[in-house]
Structure 1
Amino acid sequence: MISSLPLHPDRDLLAGELHARPPLPLATPVAISRLAQLRDAGADRGAAVAHLATLCRRYGVTPPDAGADFVMADFGRFTLRYERHTEFDGWTFLRPGPDGAAPDPFEGPAIGAVPTDWLAELPGRTLVAAHVAILRSEGEDAPPPPGCFAPDNLAGSSLSAGAATAWTDFRPGPDGFTRILLQDHGMTAALAGRLAQALWEVETYRLLALLALPQARACGPELARASASLAALAAKLPGLQALEAERDALEQLTGLATTIERLAAGTADRFSASRAYHVLVGRRLQSLREERLHGLPTLADYLERRLDPAIATVEATGARIATLSTRCARAVDLLRARVAVAQEAQTQKLLGAMAETGRAQLRLQETVEGLSVAGISYYVLSLAGYALKPLPWGGWLKAEAVLAALVPVVAGLVWVQMRRRRRRG
Structure 2
Amino acid sequence: MIQTLPLHPDRDLLAGELHARPALPLATPVTISRLAMLRDAGADRGAAIRHLETLCRRYGVTPPAPGADFVMADFGRFTLRYERHTEFDGWTFLRPGPDAGAPDPFEDTAIEAVPTDWLAELPGRTLVAAHIAVPRTAGEDEPPPPGCFVPDNLAGSSVSAGAATAWTDFRPGADGFTRILLQDHGMTAALAGRLAQAVWEVETYRLLALLALPQARACSAELARASAGLAALTARLPGLDKLDEERAALDELTDLATTIERLAAETADRFSGTRAYHALVGRRLQSLRETRLHGLPTLTEYLERRLDPAVATVEATGTRIANLSVRCGRAVDLLRARVAVAQEAQTQQLLGAMADTGRAQLRLQETVEGLSVAGISYYVLSLAGYALKPLPLGDIKADMLLAVLVPVVAGLVWIRMRRNRRKSTA
Matches of 1:343 and 1:77, distance apart in 2: 80
Alignment partner of 1:157: what SS?
Answer: strand
2: distance between equivalents of 1:123 and 1:415?
95
TM-superposition CA deviations, 1:279-311 (whole Å, max 9, x none): 000000000000001000000000000000000
**Partner residue in 2 for 1:16:** 16
- Please say if 1:26 is aligned against 2:34: no
How far the C-alpha of 1:101 sits from its partner, in A, is: 1.7
Asked if the contact 2:101/2:137 (under 8 Å) is kept, the reply is no
Query: How far, CA to CA, are the matches of 2:421 and 2:90 in structure 1?
Result: 86
Give the Cα separation in 1 of the matches to 2:412 and 2:59. 113
Report the alpha carbon displacement of residue 239 of structure 1 after superposing the two structures with TM. 1.2
Corresponding residue for residue 300 of structure 1: 300
Report whether the alignment pairs 1:313 with 2:313: yes
Match of residue 282 from structure 2: 282
SS in structure 2 of the partner of residue 264 of structure 1 = helix
Shift in Å, 1:393: 2.2
Q: CA deviation at 1:141?
A: 2.2
Q: TM-score, normalised by structure 2?
A: 0.99
Letter in 1 for 2:411: G
Amino acid at match of 1:145: P
Alignment of 1:18-417 (within 5 A): 18-395=18-395, 397-417=396-416
| Superposed CA RMSD | 0.7
> Which runs of at least 4 in structure 1 moved beyond 2 Å after TM superposition?
none
Could you tell me whether the CA contact under 8 Å between 2:141 and 2:158 is conserved in 1? no
- Return the offset for 1:99: 0.5
Q: How far has the Cα of 1:57 moved from its partner?
A: 1.2
**TM-superposition CA deviations, 1:216-257 (whole Å, max 9, x none):** 000110011011111111111111111111111111111111
Letter in 2 for 1:176: G
Deviation at 1:68, TM superposition (A): 0.6
Which has the higher mean CA deviation after the structures are superposed, 49-58 or 269-278? 49-58
d(CA) in 2 for partners of 1:137 and 1:370? 122
Separation in 2 of the partners of 1:222 and 1:43? Answer: 30
One-letter amino acid of the structure 1 residue matched with residue 268 of structure 2: A
The letter of the residue matching 1:381 is L
Give the distance between the partners of 1:141 and 1:349, measured in 2 at CA.
88
Counterparts of 1:62 and 1:271, CA distance in 2: 40
Conserved 8 A contact 2:157-2:297: yes
AA partner of residue 266 (structure 1): E
CA drift at 1:138:
1.2
- What is the CA deviation profile of residues 162-202 of structure 1, one whole-angstrom value per residue up to 9, with x for unaligned ones? 00000000000110000000000000000000000000000
Measure, in 1, the Cα distance between the counterparts of 2:380 and 2:207.
103
Alignment gaps of 5+ in structure 1: none
Identity level (%): 85
How many residues are treated as equivalent by the alignment?
424
Secondary structure of the residue aligned to 2:135 is strand
Q: For 1:10, give the aligned amino acid.
A: D
